[in-house]
Amino acid sequence: MVKSEIRLRYSGLVVFASNLLSVATGLAFVLMITRSTSTEEFGIWGNVGDLYSYFVLLAGVLPFWTTRFIAREHAGSARTGLISNLVISIASASIYLALVPTVLSVLQISSIYAILYTIVSIQILELYTTSALEAVLLAKQPQTIGYGLLISEVCKVALGFTLIMQVKLGLQGALYSIIISYLVRIAFYVKLTAKELRESVRWSYLKEWLKASPINIYGIIGNRTAAFTLILLFVYGGELARAYYGAAVTIASVIGYASFLAFGLYPRLLSRSSLEDVSISLKMVMMFAIPMTAGAVVLSDSYLTILKLVYAEARPVLLLLAMNLLFECTSEVFNTIVSGTERVDAKAKIAFRELVKSRLFLICTLPYVQSAVTLPAAFLILTLIAKTSLEAATYLALITLLANSAMLIVRYAIARRCLLFNFPWNSVSRYALASAAMTTVLLLIPHPTTLLKTVALTLLGATIYIAVLMLIHKEARSLAKSILQEAKRITQL
């Protein structure tokens, strides 16, 4: 892999676009499964995913440090990270396989699905491998991660159509499609990282990473604890309340993809701190997150209806969660600033005592602070105030929004202490103005209830937003010009 300067805008746009396209390919793949399996089988499919997900929780722990070491030119980090993650993956897969018979027995799952639960262990190995290789690419060429995702998704859908729809292999066909698509993705990544992977292993790095890994695990547990509010919603609000919330999250979560537009900021900050890079990243994220939020709000009835008519009632939940995702996108940039400017590991030595005093530890602690507020609040409101399923889902969305609003302010304050940047209010006001023009038109048009018409109206809104923004914002015109030039360059290759 040739060393090159990270292209901030380009890498962000590539990863953002690839993740948006993965929404469509993911939906197509799920539709193939649902139309080729029974309700029981689809439930089994979900359970398989839920089960093995616990065995890949550590997949990103060592790669987190691998990226940081590679970005700071510590030779041997790539190979050390890959081999270390492979060892952990083998241990995780082995433990998983040993527990499969017990799990099937406890959950009273038919033995005919044993082969499915066994084969998925390959996915555990693949996810650890992919995570290690992406850590290398993130440090040098983050846009290639977007390419890898696109290649994998196209392969998955093509294989799914063949194995699920044509050969009629059902759930096994779906699993084979995913496994093979990941193998293709891994092969692509290995080719790109071949130079780095030929370097010598430095076990001294692994020693430092293992010393620091409790911080990562601490962060993972914190995020899992914060998500426990959804368990409370299910227990005290009921299945319908969880369904309302889940439907709203399905739509609002697309806004979160805007955070990928700052994908290249992290490795850039690891190698050098730049106020200009921060400004560009914030503008890129806001340029897309604001209109996406506005679109989710104004077309909330259409988006929820195409999922299922009953979910149209969850409109207030979606309105709150859309704003929440906008705040989360912005918070993610602030988190990146904190992580990217932290120098506690800059010399390939990590003192755990110093790490606990660092802002990395502070960022990992924030989910615990948030949980200390949201969990008691959710419990009290769900048990004493909420009377209906819709009220339960709406109150939880409001609690989440208020908590993340407070966390946004805290993260901003921490990030400003790391790097004295200015928030691009002038650009944000222009994005808001263009979004207002878009929503005005969308409000005047009757909202459809079918998928194709909703997509068409969404594209119309996007076109209006882009057109207005081009008129009022010089930087947007410059970005559009650079995108066209890049597209022309790629087509001429």
Q: Is the pLDDT of residue 1 over 50?
A: no
For the entire predicted model, the pTM comes to 0.86
> What number is the average pLDDT over the span 313-325?
94
| pLDDT score at 147 | 94
> What number is the average pLDDT over the span 316-328?
95
Q: Is the pLDDT of residue 223 over 90?
A: no
User: What is the Cα–Cα distance from 76 to 70, expressed in whole angstroms?
Assistant: 8
> What number is the average pLDDT over the span 205-232?
89
| pLDDT score at 45 | 81
| pLDDT score at 489 | 64
How many angstroms from the chain centroid is the CA of residue 291?
Answer: 19
By three-state DSSP, how is residue 11 classified? helix
Q: Is the pLDDT of residue 108 over 70?
A: yes
pLDDT band at 2 (very low <50, low <70, confident <90, very high): very low
Minimum mean pLDDT range among 151-155, 315-319, 443-447, 478-482: 478-482
Question: What pLDDT digit, counting tens, does each position of 291-312 carry?
Answer: 999 999 999 999 988 877 788 8
Q: Is the pLDDT of residue 4 over 60?
A: no
Q: Report the percent of the chain where pLDDT is more than 90.
A: 59
Residue ranges with strand state E in 229-377: none
User: What is the Cα–Cα distance from 414 to 393, expressed in whole angstroms?
Assistant: 31
What residue spans define the domains of the chain?
Answer: 1-201, 215-493
> What number is the average pLDDT over the span 313-321?
94
User: What is the Cα–Cα distance from 348 to 346, expressed in whole angstroms?
Assistant: 6
pLDDT band at 487 (very low <50, low <70, confident <90, very high): low
